[in-house]
Amino acid sequence: MQHNHARRMSRLILTCGVLGLLSAPQVLAEVQPMKQSAEVEAKINALIESMTVEEMAGQLTQIWGSEVQDTNPVTAKTKHEDLLGQIRAGMVGSLLGAHGAEYINELQRAAVKESKHGIPLIIGNDVIHGYRTMFPIPLGGAATWDVDLIEKSERVAAIECAAMGTHWTFAPMIDVCRDPRWGRVAEGAGEDPMLGSAMAAARVRGFQGKDLTAKDTVLACAKHFVAYGGAEGGRDYNTVDISLQTLHDVYLPPFKAAVNVGAGSIMSAFNEVNGVPASANPYTLTTVLRDQWGFGGFVVSDWSSVTEVIPHGFAVDAADADAKAITAGVDMDMSSMSYREHLPSLVKSGKVSKAVVEEAVRRVLRMKFALGLFDDPYLDTELEKKVILTDENRALAREVARSSFVLLRNEDSLLPIKDDVKSIAVIGPLAESKRDPLGTWAGVAKAEDVVSVMEGLKSRAGEKVSVRYAKGCDISSDDTSGFSEAVELTKDSDLVVIVIGESAEMSGEAHSRSSVELPGVQRELVQAVAKTGKPVVVVLLNGRPMALPWIAENIPAILVTWHAGIECGNAVADVLFGDFNPCGKLPSTFPRKTGQIPIYLGHKNTGRPPTTERYTSKYIDLPWTPLYPFGYGLSYTTFGYSNLNIASSDIKRDGTLSVTVDVANTGKVAGAEIVQLYVRDLVGSMTRPVKELKAFRKVTLAPGESQNIAFDVAASELGFHNWDMEYVVEPGEFQLWVGGSSTGDVEGRFQIVE
Ligand code: GLC
């Protein structure tokens, strides 16, 4: 008893200690850069005082704002005059889908000059991985493990979209996902909470810059709050049922990181969380977001996610859904127009307190002031000509693309392409595509701006190397009639580059796949071409981790390029011809088969971890290891790790884990390495993952060069939520690994002590 009592006491002290360490009040102070001056707060309160409930409901309403692209039946009737009429009547606070400085200036004039209160509109759009200069899909961006590069790419996205009238982007999408059947895995940063948190913060910083009132910054919107990526079976919009511990230790951290760097808005998700829809969930939207984190911005629903609370079986009708959503903490209603319809009567009937509606309006007005929209609501219509799709933006897109590529195999250094290669056969259904490299959420980007793989290779090869093409097959049909032409071309070439994978339409929202294998007969095409005995390089264009067991076994060189954006072809040529040494690392585990999903790094050990012993946790028809693990990626050079040093093997719970390691370039060409640090808490009051990423660093080394890399990880980062939902860092032994992948190159141990 004594022992338990002591342990409990120590834990309580610890709990206070940890919270004290995290110093909740200070954390709250940090996360409120959006707090306005007393003068602005006074203006906001005066405005709210003067508004009717109908006008407040209008301010909390976002509708589709460009009838020319109008696809939604609900707003099909919203024609231009009708739209202006709604704006003048104060029935709209925000638009989405509107683009173009002239057009938005006209809409803004209707709001500012022709409505009763003159409140400016806030224009939101999905700028998910670029605007006109399209960067790699965010999953590819995460594969760079380069937060500075990703921040720069979002800076460019902000500059371009702001010039065209966007004030607010519905990004970053930061849903952790461990089931790549989910189409939206393409939009996030993969399976890991720590990498996801780093990418979330970088993207928010890129969008919001240093001054939200500047004409080249936009409000960020961390989405989809929360745990949308945990949909059962990877089926979009499906049920999410997870422990509170998993919610706090896996799915919430990227949102906390976004809030900590000042994200001005959050989007509530479609899914339910443990039986309560995310768009009407008081625990996530108020207890966590407001009370625990002190979030100062506003929450917008996802498209009609407020009224979808009805089919969830959580509300009897739209009015009930609205009452639950706004009371839980959803401030703005995207597209359903239900708030506008029901909030006035809900307030008049007392079902919703006026103070709740006023606070929602206050949050939205704060962000409009923060953006400077009250002082300067109009756009410089000349700007877009100067800042859209510049050479510098393209150059950055090319840098991000090639940094995102992951080299999975390179047997006998087949790559980079050698000087004696005089003829290249380019085969495959994606080689000439200019649309698919744009990936999902391509928005206003244009296929004509894209450099296809074929174009990139031909341009780089010049006159000295012949580059010829045969499609071989479609992306997803069963037609093999093109195989013979591809095989003939292969026989007549020195090297074959097969460009296969997924179309852009196979990933993204509402595009979950029941299989993550290659669609159609693409694998059979690779097999037919490989039979010729010619050296084959597979270039994969993909929106998710894919199961490629035969290719992994039989093809000497494999490059994962994701959907790499407008500079796809040039970036592929840069890597294949050796002008750039690949350095990307997998942000998500690649499974051997769809049936192996979920398979991810941060899994638990179980009481019977997989071994060759029969009665252990594994499939009888498949090795239990992944095809390629989280954090894995090759280079044209090699790196050696040595001299791992842990400053102190006993670390207090308010102390710091300080680690140094020597990393050497042991090969013949310069290259960048992503040095990764993982830990395992060997014994806890809850079972702990077999490995957790806790730090990473990108380092570039010349051949033969060595650097001593240092990591400092606060012991408070080594905790978890226990059974009682206290955040605890418990005493005990930890294992530690450092390396160029989650398999770890060097290993050590340390203790957390009382
Ligand atoms: C979509 C998506 C969301 C997007 C919104 C507006 O349904 O779920 O990510 O921002 O609607 O397009």
Q: Which pLDDT does position 79 carry in this prediction?
A: 78
Residue 223 CA: which ligand 1 atom is closest? 9
Which residue's CA lies nearest to atom 6 of ligand 1? 303
For ligand 1, whether the C-beta of 308 sits within 6 Å is no
Per-residue pLDDT band for 24 (boundaries 50, 70, 90) equals: very low
Residue 224 CA: which ligand 1 atom is closest? 9
Q: What distance in angstroms lies between residue 301's CA and the mean position of ligand 1's atoms?
A: 9
The domains of the chain, with CATH numbers, are 2-15+637-753 (2.60.40.10), 38-69+83-377 (3.20.20.300), 395-593 (3.40.50.1700)
Residue 305 CA: which ligand 1 atom is closest? 7
Count CB atoms within 10 A of the CB of residue 531.
10
Q: What distance in angstroms lies between residue 302's CA and the mean position of ligand 1's atoms?
A: 6
221-248 pLDDT, tens per residue?
999 999 999 999 999 999 999 999 999 9
For ligand 1, whether the C-beta of 223 sits within 6 Å is yes
Which of these, 524, 556, 554, 558, lies nearest to 542 by C-alpha position? 558
Residue 173 CA: which ligand 1 atom is closest? 9
Which of these, 730, 667, 735, 601, lies nearest to 190 by C-alpha position? 601
402-421 pLDDT, tens per residue?
999 999 999 999 999 999 99
Q: What distance in angstroms lies between residue 298's CA and the mean position of ligand 1's atoms?
A: 16
Q: Which pLDDT does position 72 carry in this prediction?
A: 66
Mutate to test the pocket of ligand 1, among 122, 170, 177 (most ligand atoms within 8 A of CB): 170
Count CB atoms within 10 A of the CB of residue 264.
27
For ligand 1, whether the C-beta of 154 sits within 6 Å is no
Q: What distance in angstroms lies between residue 470's CA and the mean position of ligand 1's atoms?
A: 38
B/e letters for 647-658, b = 16+ CB within 10 Å, e = fewer, are eeeebebebbbe
Q: Which residue in 179, 192, 236, 302 is the catalytic one?
A: 302
Task: Say if CB 660 and CB 645 are below 8 A apart.
Answer: yes
Q: Which pLDDT does position 6 carry in this prediction?
A: 40
Mutate to test the pocket of ligand 1, among 62, 74, 99, 126 (most ligand atoms within 8 A of CB): 126
Compute CA distances 39 → 369, 476, 627, whole Å. 11, 60, 59
449-492 pLDDT, tens per residue?
999 999 999 999 999 999 999 999 999 999 999 999 999 999 99
Distance CA 325, CA 84 (A): 28
Over residues 9-27, the mean pLDDT reads: 34
| Res 98 pLDDT > 60 | yes
356-390 pLDDT, tens per residue?
999 999 999 999 999 999 999 999 999 999 999 99
Q: Which pLDDT does position 81 carry in this prediction?
A: 85
Which of these, 744, 615, 111, lies nearest to 368 by C-alpha position? 111
Amino acid at 189: A
Mutate to test the pocket of ligand 1, among 125, 303, 304 (most ligand atoms within 8 A of CB): 303
Q: Which pLDDT does position 67 carry in this prediction?
A: 54
For ligand 1, whether the C-beta of 730 sits within 6 Å is no
Which residue's CA lies nearest to atom 8 of ligand 1? 302
Q: What distance in angstroms lies between residue 222's CA and the mean position of ligand 1's atoms?
A: 12
Distance CA 362, CA 220 (A): 18
Residue 97 CA: which ligand 1 atom is closest? 12
Q: Which pLDDT does position 151 carry in this prediction?
A: 98
The chain-wide mean pLDDT, for the chain, equals: 94
Which residue's CA lies nearest to atom 10 of ligand 1? 170
679-730 pLDDT, tens per residue?
999 999 999 999 999 999 999 999 999 999 999 999 999 999 999 999 999 9
Tell me the torsion sign for CA atoms 621, 625, 628, 634.
negative
Compute CA distances 640 → 417, 631, 644, 671, 674, whole Å. 25, 16, 12, 12, 12
Lowest mean pLDDT among 27-31, 195-199, 407-411, 739-743: 27-31
Task: Say if CB 716 and CB 657 are below 8 A apart.
Answer: no
Q: Which pLDDT does position 26 carry in this prediction?
A: 33
Query: What residue spans of 332-478 are helical by DSSP H?
Result: 338-348, 354-370, 383-387, 391-404, 453-461
Tell me the torsion sign for CA atoms 470, 474, 480, 481.
negative
For ligand 1, whether the C-beta of 175 sits within 6 Å is no
530-579 pLDDT, tens per residue?
999 999 999 999 999 999 999 999 999 999 999 999 999 999 999 999 99
Cα dihedral angle (514, 518, 522, 523), rounded to 10 degrees? -120
* Residues in the chain, total: 754
State the Rg of the chain over Cα.
27
Residue 269 CA: which ligand 1 atom is closest? 8
Residues 6+ apart with CB under 8 A from 546: 180, 501, 502, 516, 517, 518, 540, 590
Which of these, 408, 455, 643, lies nearest to 567 by C-alpha position? 455
E strands in 614-719: 639-646, 650-652, 656-665, 671-681, 692-701, 706-714
Q: What distance in angstroms lies between residue 98's CA and the mean position of ligand 1's atoms?
A: 14
Per-residue pLDDT band for 80 (boundaries 50, 70, 90) equals: confident
- Give pTM, 2 decimals: 0.95
Q: Which pLDDT does position 73 carry in this prediction?
A: 65
Which residue's CA lies nearest to atom 7 of ligand 1? 303
Q: What distance in angstroms lies between residue 113's CA and the mean position of ligand 1's atoms?
A: 30
Q: Which two tokens stand for residue 226?
A: 């929360």
Per-residue pLDDT band for 618 (boundaries 50, 70, 90) equals: very high
Mutate to test the pocket of ligand 1, among 69, 166, 302, 330 (most ligand atoms within 8 A of CB): 302
Identify whether 302 is a catalytic site residue: yes
266-294 pLDDT, tens per residue?
999 999 999 999 999 999 999 999 999 99
Task: State the angle between helix axes of 147-163 and 391-404 in degrees (0 to 180), rounded to the nearest 10.
Answer: 140
Q: Which pLDDT does position 29 carry in this prediction?
A: 34
Q: What distance in angstroms lies between residue 173's CA and the mean position of ligand 1's atoms?
A: 10
For ligand 1, whether the C-beta of 225 sits within 6 Å is no
Over residues 424-442, the mean pLDDT reads: 98
| Res 15 pLDDT > 70 | no
| Res 28 pLDDT > 90 | no
634-656 pLDDT, tens per residue?
999 999 999 999 999 999 999 99
Query: Kind of pairing, strands 639-646 and 536-541?
Result: unpaired
Task: Say if CB 166 and CB 127 are below 8 A apart.
Answer: yes
Count CB atoms within 10 A of the CB of residue 730.
21
Over residues 171-195, the mean pLDDT reads: 98
Count CB atoms within 10 A of the CB of residue 712.
11
Q: What distance in angstroms lies between residue 509's CA and the mean position of ligand 1's atoms?
A: 8
For ligand 1, whether the C-beta of 303 sits within 6 Å is yes
Task: Say if CB 669 and CB 634 are below 8 A apart.
Answer: no
Q: Dihedrals φ, ψ of 637, to 5°?
A: -115, -175
Q: What distance in angstroms lies between residue 662's CA and the mean position of ligand 1's atoms?
A: 45
For ligand 1, whether the C-beta of 170 sits within 6 Å is yes
Q: Which two tokens stand for residue 588?
A: 């998500």
For ligand 1, whether the C-beta of 302 sits within 6 Å is yes
For ligand 1, whether the C-beta of 295 sits within 6 Å is no
For ligand 1, whether the C-beta of 509 sits within 6 Å is yes
